[in-house]
Amino acid sequence: MNEEVYISFESYLNNEMSQAEKELFEQRLNSDNQFRESFNLYKETTAMLENKFDSKTIDFKENLKSISKTHFSENKEDKSRVINFKPFYYAIAASVVLAFGTWFMMQGNPEYGDFNQHENAYFTERGSIIKNLRLAQNAFNEKNYKAAIENFEIVLKDYDKPEVRFFYGISLLEENRYSEAETNFITIQNGTSVYKDKATWYLALSKLKQNQFDECKDYIKQIPEDAEDYEKAQKLLNKLD
């Protein structure tokens, strides 16, 4: 990834893109696996920098900013120097973030953010509920989970299906409504749909997000070897052990 990509990550995370730029960025997130993985790592490790670094690391970041101002912004009239600085700065910042982030991901307990890469929701048209189902689908895929919840609840009144309840449960989990999310996942887990094992995986993720690590491990151990999420579940289990 070059520095322009990291600049786009920062612009998106800081809500500095135009609507058109944002739509193009999100289209690439959905279609380019490597780009999506790099963005998720950048986002997660940036959060680690902000939330987990000790005072020495924070001082390092402040020193980096100070150095950048000294070397690249002394002459405010020199626009070319300021323009040239930004890609260089982000290249350094990205390298620092990724280097420290990789180290932190190898330390301590895993986090929910390491594993919450949800698949997109795609529903078949269902007559009179098509409007709210489509709104729920689009809101979920855009990570607007509050709007997704509102529309899923309307749909579930007349169309209570495992696939709808599954994505509804994820939306609740993302909004930290743990009890409600787990109730939905348990309902699916007790059924016979293709979402049965996925519901168990998300019950584990719910416990992970709440730092209930023993309960998380208990759910992981219930996931069969032929389940789609088995390998991810084992990686999480290894980190927890």
Q: For the chain, how long is the longest CA-to-CA vector?
A: 68
Q: What is the pLDDT of residue 69?
A: 47
User: Does 98 share its domain with 119?
Assistant: no
Distance CA 12, CA 143 (A): 14
| Residue from 18, 210, 164, 207 nearest 222 by CA | 207
Host domain of residue 216: 114-240
> Are 224 and 133 part of one and the same domain?
yes
Same domain (yes/no): 160, 233? yes
Q: What is the pLDDT of residue 97?
A: 53
Confidence at residue 96, expressed as pLDDT on a 0 to 100 scale: 53
Region at 108 (left for phi over 0; alpha for psi -120 to 50; beta for the rest): left
Tokens 């389940």, residue located: 227
Q: Residues 118, 235: one domain?
A: yes
Q: What CATH number is associated with residue 156?
A: 1.25.40.10
Cα–Cα distance measured from residue 168 to residue 87, given in angstroms and rounded to the nearest whole number: 40
Exposure string of 159-189, with b = 16+ CB inside 10 Å and e = fewer, is: beebbbbbbbbbbbbbeebeeebbebbeebb
| 91 shares its domain with 122 | no
Calculate ∠ Cα 44-112-102, nearest 5°: 40
According to the model, what pLDDT value does residue 58 have? 53
From 107, 137, 168, the end of a domain falls on: 107
pLDDT tens, the chain, 241 aa long: 555 777 788 888 888 888 988 888 898 889 888 788 888 887 777 666 555 554 545 554 455 445 444 544 444 444 444 434 344 445 555 555 555 555 444 445 777 877 767 877 766 655 555 788 999 999 999 999 999 999 999 999 988 999 999 999 999 999 999 999 999 999 999 999 999 999 999 999 999 999 999 999 999 999 999 999 999 999 999 988 7
- Residue 2: what pLDDT? 57
The pLDDT of residue 50: 56
Q: Per the structure, how many domains does the chain have?
A: 2
Cα 174 to the center of its chain, rounded Å: 10
Q: Do 94 and 171 fall within a single domain?
A: no
Integer CA distances (angstroms), 187 to 59, 136, 190, in order:
49, 20, 5
SS3 letters for 28-92?
HHHHCHHHHHHHHHHHHHHHHHHHHCCHHHHHHHHHHHHHHHHHHCCCCCCHHHHHHHHHHHHHH
pTM, rounded to two decimals:
0.53
Q: Which of 1, 85, 7 is nearest to 37 (CA)?
A: 1
Mark whether 98 and 118 lie in a shared domain: no
Shared-domain flag, residues 40 and 133:
no
Q: What pLDDT shows up at residue 49?
A: 58
